[in-house]
Chain A
Amino acid sequence: MINIRNVHKCFGDLEVLKGIDLDVNKGEVLSIIGGSGSGKSTLLYCINAIENIQKGQIIVDDIDVHAKKTYQDKLRQKLGMVFQQWNSFPHLTVLENAALAPRIVKKLSREESIEVAKQELEHVGLGDKFDVYPTKMSGGQQQRLAIARALAMKPDYMLFDEITSALDPELVGEVLDTLRLLREDGMTMICVTHEIAFAREVSDQVAFFNEGIIEEMGTPEQVISNPQKETTQKFLSKVL
């Protein structure tokens, strides 16, 4: 379970998160929508401890992410993250990309790590690409590799940061299909996304971010189909 309490985050004088409260239960899918600069990606970075916070608390399975005594490298094993730019490791093959972290971080044997990597790659439909170098693949394939690479660590939660935004339109579908697959597996996910239709389809909860606060939150029916706030209505009318 992820509990977020009154989180504030500043970059210099600019306050990008102004008191965020959120709870994500095991097995739930939360989608975060909102305009650019609304702080939605920053929140993901804070959950994964890539960015620190100025005030508040983020608790993942009873561990305070930003407490001094927390071993953040260890904590990140619980949290898989996929980025807008897929960030494949260009010097490693697809299989090595996915097998590296299980081997060096979780200390699995070479065979075990390759086994896990193969499973996850097949799961996302890259079973025929093991020995290919990522730069030879399409953006959609590289993004699925990034998902498999994160899954190979057997995380309890997955964080997705606008993972279809940098893709050509015809490649978006295959990546969203992969997310649907994860949803069926019961993975707990937080998706920052611009795909409103997708968010409505897969989410248990939707949060609309605006200028560092949560304007509206609830089921997809409440937030997307019947938004109460004017800002939410305005945003949706622009993107739908």
Chain B
Amino acid sequence: MDYQFHWNIVFQKMPEMLQGAFVTLHVSVLSMLIGIVIAVLLAIVKMNHSKPFCYVAIGWIEIARNTPALFQIYMAYFGLGALGIHLSPYVAVLSALIFINAGYLAETFRGGFMSIPKTQYSASKSLGMNSFQVYRYIILPQMFRRIYHPMTNQFVWSILMSSLGILVGMGELSGETQRLQSLSFRTLEFFIVAAVMYFIITKLVLFSSSLISRKLFRGEI
């Protein structure tokens, strides 16, 4: 069986595909930024062991880590809808990604923090540093190195998982591809181009991340 590929139609729609790719990046970056802020709070609360909040943090983290992303998106889109909270596809996907990113990153941050030996703290204190200085100059910079690569991976994961927007009619790369192919029925061509674009975006992110890390982190730990 031969299948005739027709690429022209895809190239004509390139501006719309790129627009979709932009939305993909947009939603992933935003989900990371907000996710990081919440993750810091969750990690601190969990490490503090202060009773009611601690359980909220543990609940959030474990639900985010132990249920499918698609489930989270359905919850945000259909589930909240049943409660009268109607989110747009974009906001629904964004909130689901934030929820999951926060859960995973909270554990990453906690692990990174725990991996810094307590003796670094006493050594810094013995030099006369106050607690703020110990964190600012000694603990956090070391912690940041250890969480940098897991954070990059989480970002890549967000880019790939935002493709689930296709299932709630969101206009990111996959959803846009779906819409465009339905107009022309060149399903294969459109999705092959989308796949290549995801691949390129992912590689670009990983490449720039390693460039930045080489600039930022000279010594090794």
Which of A76, A92, A149 contacts B219, CB < 8 Å? A92
Q: B127 contacts A87, CB within 8 Å?
A: no
Known: A50-B125, A91-B142, A91-B221. A100 touches B137 (CB 8 A): yes
Q: B138 contacts A89, CB within 8 Å?
A: yes
Q: A153 contacts B119, CB within 8 Å?
A: no
Q: A89 contacts B120, CB within 8 Å?
A: yes
A87 to B126, CA, bound (A): 11
Q: A133 contacts B218, CB within 8 Å?
A: yes
Chain B's closest residue to A100 (CB) is B137
Size range of the chain B interface in the assembly = 20 to 34
Q: B133 contacts A79, CB within 8 Å?
A: no
Which of A81, A135, A149 contacts B220, CB < 8 Å? A135
Q: A105 contacts B119, CB within 8 Å?
A: no
Q: Mark A65-88, 1 if CB is under 8 A from B, else 0.
A: 000000001101101110101010
Q: A81 contacts B218, CB within 8 Å?
A: no
Q: A90 contacts B127, CB within 8 Å?
A: no
Which of B126, B133, B219 contacts A50, CB < 8 Å? B126
Q: Mark B142-159, 1 if CB is under 8 A from A, else 0.
A: 100100000000000000
Q: B126 contacts A85, CB within 8 Å?
A: no
- A26 smallest CB distance to B (angstroms): 20
Which of A79, A91, A104, A150 contacts B129, CB < 8 Å? A104
Could you say which residues of chain A place their CB within 8 Å of the CB of B217? 91
Could you say which residues of chain A place their CB within 8 Å of the CB of B117? 87
Could you say which residues of chain B place their CB within 8 Å of the CB of A90? 142, 219-221
A221 to B125, CA, bound (A): 36
A106 to B122, CA, bound (A): 18
- A228 smallest CB distance to B (angstroms): 35
Known: A91-B219, A92-B219. A153 touches B128 (CB 8 A): yes
Q: A50 contacts B130, CB within 8 Å?
A: no
Q: Mark A46-61, 1 if CB is under 8 A from B, else 0.
A: 0010100000000000
Could you say which residues of chain B place their CB within 8 Å of the CB of A178? none
Q: A135 contacts B221, CB within 8 Å?
A: yes
The yes or no answer to A101 lying at the interface (CB within 8 A) is yes
The yes or no answer to A93 lying at the interface (CB within 8 A) is yes
Chain A's closest residue to B136 (CB) is A104
The yes or no answer to B114 lying at the interface (CB within 8 A) is no
Chain B's closest residue to A159 (CB) is B126
Which of B119, B122, B127, B219 contacts A101, CB < 8 Å? B127
Known: A89-B138, A91-B142, A100-B137. A74 touches B119 (CB 8 A): no
Could you say which residues of chain A place their CB within 8 Å of the CB of B145? 91
Across the A-B interface, give the 7 residue pairs with the lowest CB-CB distance, nearest first.
Answer: A133-B219, A87-B123, A81-B126, A101-B127, A77-B128, A105-B128, A76-B128
B-binding residues in A (CB < 8 A): 45, 48, 50, 73-74, 76-77, 79-81, 83, 85, 87, 89-93, 100-101, 104-106, 133-135, 146, 149-150, 153
CB pairs A–B below 8 angstroms (22 shown): A45-B122, A48-B125, A73-B125, A76-B125, A77-B128, A80-B127, A83-B119, A83-B122, A87-B119, A89-B120, A90-B220, A93-B219, A101-B124, A105-B127, A105-B128, A105-B129, A105-B133, A133-B218, A133-B219, A146-B123, A150-B126, A153-B127
A-binding residues in B (CB < 8 A): 117, 119-120, 122-130, 133, 137-138, 141-142, 145, 217-221
